Amino acid sequence: VTTDHGYVEGSAPVWEHHGTDLARASGADHARTLAATQQRGALSTLALDPPGHPFGSVVSYVLDDGGHPLMVISTMAEHTRNAAADGRASLMVSEPVAEGADPLASGRVTLLGTLGRVPDGEQAAATAQVVAALPGVGVYAGFSDFACWRLAVTHLRWVGGFGRMSWIGVDDYLGATVDPVLPRAAGILAHMNADHADAGVLLCGRAVARDDLERATMVGADRFGVDYEATAAGGVHHAVRIPFPEPAGGVDDVRRHLVAAVRAVRDPDSHA
Amino acid sequence: VTTDHGYVEGSAPVWEHHGTDLARASGADHARTLAATQQRGALSTLALDPPGHPFGSVVSYVLDDGGHPLMVISTMAEHTRNAAADGRASLMVSEPVAEGADPLASGRVTLLGTLGRVPDGEQAAATAQVVAALPGVGVYAGFSDFACWRLAVTHLRWVGGFGRMSWIGVDDYLGATVDPVLPRAAGILAHMNADHADAGVLLCGRAVARDDLERATMVGADRFGVDYEATAAGGVHHAVRIPFPEPAGGVDDVRRHLVAAVRAVRDPDSHA
């Protein structure tokens, strides 16, 4: 059995972990945040002909208050006919992939569940919720062959990037938080690594109590803190979590927390 | 049964068609061109748990010479485990959607077929073909858990935009042409409608033998010609096909053909 991504025993790099058990956005938070910040996904249903063949199509959607996708679709569309006969379905949503970037390194989530027509009594409100988020849908939402359908999520598959993945139960998903920092993480990482590489070496050096770190790259950011990968002389790698004193409400809070943390290392006597 | 997109009988606009039976890129050409010009799609497979539940994931792919998608995937990935147990699968590919545009107006194609591991004797060549088109895949193509798989296409569902759709048989797909103009059509339409609206009125007026056209909008372009929607005084709509004298090999040929066609109307005695 080869589930090792090809590492020969003993050749894998040596990693030491610091603070990686501190609070962080959960896989469910990642999944819920990704689903909440996108509006277009790939719907998989079971075809009528040949029966049971998996069939992919494109849909625009919004999440209802519980995190279940709502979509306004036509009875003329294959996916609607498929779902009317067998509601088993999934919606796959992926982060936008930058030009030239490896799509396997981007986050994506597959919401599995049952796709069914919203009951008549809830049609108007559900449709209005979709149209409010997707004004283009308003053009055809009133056509007699369109109606609002809902994917009642039962479980999820989340992939956070190359090698980071998990199954997520519906209870964890329904209780998850839309993280205000995660959708901006790519920009935060790019900025910090390009313009403030010294801050990473400083913060990680303090965290691991070493003064021989050669570089530190920010690899993650969420409302609870940021993650670095640092390399010391001799090639030992350090996975370092820098926690925030309180959850960040957005990018401005992240900046404020990081500035204060750097100041506290540089000038321990200041009252940052 | 409501399959009418909500038109009340008698309220639909009146359309006259001119040259719309002339040569044009087929649905199979559209589908093959779209699949050939993209490198990322949504794969639908049948989950192991719960068994038979449609499962969507993201893959990078390239078409082999026959038009069947090749992908280098890991045995650790859900879609690979799914396909190993039941090869029924589909790959959905969509045109990039411009910011703010209606995704239902964009083209997409779903290739249905059987996903199977490429035989050992063809692994090296098939993997090399994928890596040549997707250099990022080379990073992990050599890992022992990765291998090249092929979706043997059996039939397709093509949607050319809102209301244009068809099922396509595999023979039509395998015999289809990657159209050199279709991938550039959006740019051609935007340019012609913004900067050369007068040319459209001129060409359509000649085609339908009317001098009361109020406007003409280019709505399609392929290697065989371009499509206009023109409106005459009184509100009659004309769907007009302007054919090229020979298939265009690219955007430069389209420009040359259109310039010559306009010159022939404006100055019938010239030898354009």
Amino acid making up residue A142: G
Please say if the pLDDT value at position B136 is more than 60.
Answer: yes
| B163: nearest Cα among B2, B4, B1, B41 | B4
Please say if the pLDDT value at position A271 is more than 90.
Answer: no
Touching check for A96 and chain B: CB below 8 Å?
no
* ipTM metric: 0.86
Cα distance from N-terminal residue to C-terminal residue, chain B? 53
Give pLDDT, residue B271: 60
CB contact under 8 A, B53 and A88: yes
Confidence category of residue B201, pLDDT binned at 50, 70, 90? very high
Which residues of A fall within a CB distance of 8 Å from B99? none
Put simply, the chain A residues between 150 and 189 with a CB less than 8 A from any chain B CB are: 157, 162
Give pLDDT, residue A2: 36
Radius of gyration of chain A (CA): 22
Confidence category of residue B11, pLDDT binned at 50, 70, 90? low
- Using H for helix, E for strand and C for coil, what is the string for chain B? CCCCCCCCCCCCCCEEEECCCCCCCCHHHHHHHHHHHCCEEEEEEECCCCCCCEEEEEEECEECCCCCEEEEEECCCHHHHHHHHCCEEEEEEECCCCCCCCHHHCCEEEEEEEEEECCHHHHHHHHHHHHHHCHHHHHHHCCCCEEEEEEEEEEEEEEEECCEEEEEEHHHHHCCCCCCCHHHHHHHHHHHHHHCHHHHHHHHHHHHCCCCEEEEEEEEEECCEEEEEEEECCCCEEEEEEECCCCCCCHHHHHHHHHHHHHHHHCCCCCC
Please say if the pLDDT value at position B163 is more than 80.
Answer: no
> In whole angstroms, what is the distance from residue B100 CA to residue A31 CA?
24
CA nearest to B90 within chain A: A55
Please say if the pLDDT value at position A254 is more than 90.
Answer: yes
CA nearest to B146 within chain A: A5
CA nearest to B167 within chain A: A78
CB contact under 8 A, B103 and A4: no
- The lowest-confidence range among A17-21, A69-73, A268-272, B16-20 is A268-272
Q: Per residue in A134-169, pLDDT tens?
A: 988 888 888 999 999 999 999 999 998 766 789 999
Q: How far is CA B116 from CA A134, B63, B81, B169, B173, in A?
A: 38, 15, 11, 20, 20
More confident residue, A10 or B55: B55
CB contact under 8 A, A145 and B102: no
Looking up tokens 């990037």 gives: A161
Amino acid making up residue A31: A
DSSP β-ladder status, A237-243 and A15-18: parallel
Q: Which of B5, B102, B140 sits opposite A136 (nearest CB)?
A: B102
Shortest alpha-carbon distance between residue B63 and chain A (Å): 17
Instruction: Please give the structure tokens belonging to residue B164.
Output: 């244009």
Q: Which of B57, B106, B110 sits opposite A57 (nearest CB)?
A: B110
Confidence category of residue A234, pLDDT binned at 50, 70, 90? confident
> In whole angstroms, what is the distance from residue A238 CA to residue B54 CA?
40
pTM (2 d.p.):
0.87
Put simply, the chain A residues between 20 and 39 with a CB less than 8 A from any chain B CB are: none
Give pLDDT, residue A4: 44
Please say if the pLDDT value at position A188 is more than 80.
Answer: yes
How large is the average pLDDT for residues B153-168?
87
Q: Per residue in A59-83, pLDDT tens?
A: 999 999 999 999 999 998 999 999 9
Give pLDDT, residue A222: 96
Shortest alpha-carbon distance between residue B269 and chain A (Å): 47
Please say if the pLDDT value at position B102 is more than 80.
Answer: no
